[in-house]
Structure 1
């Protein structure tokens, strides 16, 4: 392999070129958070170094984009002809010797990603970048790297269906929360998660300090992810194609097994990283955080206003229990659990993507939480799957599927029954798997469900307004539950 001439890898010139080229290129990237800003960001490249020399060469770039960052890009540098796909080209750079090179998104170059895997397997350092394979693992060196085309907040590259590299587009200071959890699960053993094979980081003495850049994990051979499978089963149920098992859609056993897998992961994390009750001060901090999130949601989404009183009452119920000494236990959890974070492997469900909600800081994602936050998030995912399937059956946007015409009545009823039945099956599986039965803590579970539904409402109002009725329907259900509960307490003489 011929190396590029030294002038072509003049990092000072490439850094200046990236600062000029990236503002126009970034808005087209799925992982860039500032797409709606209206004007191109000012880019400042903070770290740029050669990871692989040659032609093409591979550079790692860590940069700020306006006030947003840091971001990471793997930059390929090569002479003409262009890279395998024209799509990833960032721009061209004329070098002092008169030759020209192309700068491009390297994750879409299978050969270059294959060479990166060889470098990861070798371990050690390349300038400020450190490669740390797990001792004793055998990596599929020599295999090309094929980037996933799925919409993701990071970029995944698969190698021969044996390993998967997750390039963190938002590098995490220090050890990333996901790396911490995967390491703990690895110690526990026999846990339904993808094994950690290696990770890539910058050194503490680098221009950006210590950051986790990428994770390499076992590739999970699967029949699909939970979201795709659940929506397909629910759609068949609502279309009347599963008459033998209405209204369950044939997914109840899978929902139960997914509950078992979730409980096993939670148990392993508690054993490895600990579990404890919240102190009074921590409980108050949790309640204040929930209150702040609700207040923000009510400001951001006017459609939540009719349910404000009931939503505050749900939180008041939890505040009353905590005030009587009923502090919840907390531990490290998945943090962003939903059907799309589960893969149906050959032997059962595998949970993936332990990085937590991308919108939260690493410190927030590391904070121990009640396990029912994960459970509530998965219960909300069943509701989303049912609505999404219903929209497919009725051929309408998800938010427009609750129609009053007769054609939609039966599918809508089946959608509701499907969601309820599978939520119950998941909760039963979670309890049978050794976890706390979610139904034994109804106030805490409802509080986290309401919090998640409000979070969804804010997201949908900003990104997919046609989907807003989905979380609003959940908020309406939770509000009705709170009102009926208060009425029952009043009738029995108990305080609500």
Structure 2
């Protein structure tokens, strides 16, 4: 957006916009969002009729042009979404105004001027000024901004929106801070705030220190809802997914540096296992940790069975493996019934290679909100730590086969089994995954975590549950990748863990 366009008209010169203009913007959004929302990756109601939306919160947090309006809408399915709305007199056209791919539509001010309304999560101008609200840390109408004790928030840093595809919006401020703007909004204690605070209390844990947060005041009833979390920025070489898939591709091609068969990344996998164990130990020390009773274990395995039934109803490809998967869950229940306690604690809840950063001195775990699509109470509920371990083991499998797809130039469903080169490279990819899964488990154990390989029944049950989740996800979003989790389902149904 050019400076000329920014100065063309200032819809609100100081303070908040007139109430009439804000009402017009909200009315326009209620009209425009039903067609816009289903096109967004993070919207959960895809495949349904155009959603009706109802505004729950609208606060002009940054005046001027562009102005920034922080909003929360409830869709027809009951989900609540936060949108950072930019409002500007600049037109939506290449080179002179708002990028076309961010435009939601237009509104008018009370004096008849046109405003372009756009999704502002990628606009540095208003996001840079949003930082002032965290510096002030004071209530603002329906919003409240808070700082953690002792946190220092420097002023005047330029916002740099991050472009990686993800469920939330992430904004870096220099190399000092990172702001996470949550998309799906739920009232109640935020699990990421809880766990970041716990890890900060524990000290010397590979996570990013929390600095501040913003939450609602009033619109959700008695309990506030967290909207944004500001934390320290972690300078890194990249995320685990990018690094691991590059290493896997090199090894599958036979070009990796390590002499270990098939080498590559194993030292990093070992270190990542250590970092995961350190986080688990700190969470167990700072937050709730106990053992499940047999009735609670039965409730847990019933939930695994229910998820399997839901997946079966939608993806009949798993029919041949259902009996073996149910046996895996029943074996878990029987193991506890025989007197083997099942320890539970707060866990990451959505751990995979994309949720870790390779900092200069080791791996750092990020994004502790859990699986955003799951209920808040479930995300805050203590779980076996092996759930995180199983999820990371599945991520190594995905990294290997994603790299394989890049080499062969085709997703799994399009590969021919009669291709000798494809068969040979597939074996190398599988060997890379096994090699790094073992290294991760060894590192986890070396750092004081319970060796997951000594609890094969537990590990098999939770890895199977994760693979079933992946089957459902791929069937809905990337059917060409369905063979990856289906292969894991087949392996786990037959009792083969391939983790050590």
Instruction: Specify the TM-score bucket, using the shorter chain as the normaliser.
Output: over 0.9
- The counterpart of 2:175, out of the listed 147, 152, 161, is 161
Cα deviation, residue 68, structure 1: 3.7
Q: Distance in 1 between matches of 2:174 and 2:30?
A: 35
Tell me which residue corresponds to 1:278.
Answer: 292
8 Å Cα contact 1:237-1:247 kept in structure 2: no
- Counterparts of 1:218-367 in structure 2, within 5 Å, are 218-242=232-256, 244-367=258-381
Q: Distance in 2 between matches of 1:198 and 1:130?
A: 11
- After TM superposition, the structure 1 stretch with the greater mean CA deviation from structure 2, 122-131 or 411-420, is 411-420
8 Å Cα contact 2:73-2:81 kept in structure 1: yes
Tell me which residue corresponds to 1:452.
Answer: 466
Deviations 1:61-113 (A, max 9, x none): 11112224211111122223565533322222222322222222222221211
Tell me which residue corresponds to 2:4.
Answer: none
Deviations 1:426-457 (A, max 9, x none): 00000001100101111000110111111111
Q: Note the residue ranges of structure 2 that are not aligned, 5 or more in a row.
A: 1-6
Please give the secondary structure, in 1, of the residue aligned with 2:183. strand
Q: Distance in 2 between matches of 1:49 and 1:442?
A: 52
Cα deviation, residue 23, structure 1: 1.6
Q: Distance in 2 between matches of 1:340 and 1:15?
A: 35
RMSD (Å), alpha carbons: 2.1
Q: Distance in 1 between matches of 2:470 and 2:163?
A: 25
Q: Distance in 1 between matches of 2:130 and 2:479?
A: 41
Cα deviation, residue 243, structure 1: 6.6
Cα deviation, residue 389, structure 1: 1.1
Q: 1:126 to 1:382 in 2, by over 3 A?
A: same
2:66 equivalent to 1:56: yes
Q: Distance in 1 between matches of 2:416 and 2:367?
A: 32
- Counterparts of 1:8-27 in structure 2, within 5 Å, are 10-27=21-38
8 Å Cα contact 2:98-2:118 kept in structure 1: no
Cα deviation, residue 401, structure 1: 4.3
Deviations 1:467-496 (A, max 9, x none): 111111111212233699xxxxxxxxxxxx
8 Å Cα contact 1:334-1:374 kept in structure 2: yes
Please give the secondary structure, in 2, of the residue aligned with 1:224. coil
Q: Distance in 2 between matches of 1:88 and 1:340?
A: 25
Q: Distance in 1 between matches of 2:444 and 2:413?
A: 30
- Counterparts of 1:93-104 in structure 2, within 5 Å, are 93-104=107-118
Tell me which residue corresponds to 1:72.
Answer: 82
- After TM superposition, the structure 1 stretch with the greater mean CA deviation from structure 2, 119-128 or 92-101, is 92-101
Please give the secondary structure, in 2, of the residue aligned with 1:59. strand
8 Å Cα contact 1:7-1:95 kept in structure 2: no
Q: How many residues align?
A: 483
Instruction: State the TM-score, normalizing by the size of structure 2.
Output: 0.92
8 Å Cα contact 1:58-1:76 kept in structure 2: yes
Tell me which residue corresponds to 2:39.
Answer: 28
- Counterparts of 1:71-220 in structure 2, within 5 Å, are 71-80=81-90, 83-204=97-218, 210-220=224-234
Q: Distance in 2 between matches of 1:473 and 1:51?
A: 49
- The counterpart of 1:396, out of the listed 410, 413, 420, is 410
Q: Note the residue ranges of structure 1 that are not aligned, 5 or more in a row.
A: 485-496
Instruction: State the TM-score, normalizing by the size of structure 1.
Output: 0.93
